[in-house]
Amino acid sequence: MYPSIGTGCAADGGNVIATALSVAGPAKIPAPGPQSGQTAYVFTAVGTPGPAEEQKLPLNVTWVNLTTGKSGSATLKPQPDINPDGPTTLTAIADTGSGSILSTIFGQVTTKEKQCQFMPTIGSTVVP
């Protein structure tokens, strides 16, 4: 997936870059790992502190399986064992099925210090 930018997310009020990944299952990461027919999503806001326990506004992924026509969405959430002290990293696992998956991630991230809006990003994954 393409990187994203969050405005005003740095401690000094500057912008931060976020990396976004989609991982085809089966895979061991991100924990607990996507199974066959699933896609995992990882969004990391580089240069931020750890995530707030509660995300005030959601960071969502919307996806469509171009092979089957199936579509869906999921909310990315912090995991206690993934970067608890930063950078803020949110994940989700979706039952996309096998095929060519086109996804977009959009929304906001709540760090321990700030609420941050991120530009939408898009990418594709092939799930065997």
Burial 14-45 (b: 16+ CB within 10 A, else e): eebebbbbbbbbeeeebeeebeebbbbbbbbb
Q: What is the CATH number of the domain that holds 57?
A: 2.60.40
Q: How many domains does the chain have?
A: 1
Residue 73: in which H helix or E strand, if any? strand 71-78
Segment 5-16, tens digit of pLDDT: 999 999 899 999
Q: Which residues contact 7 (CB under 8 A, 6 or more apart)?
A: 15, 116, 117
The tens digit of pLDDT for each residue in 83-122 reads: 999 999 999 999 999 999 999 999 999 999 999 999 999 9
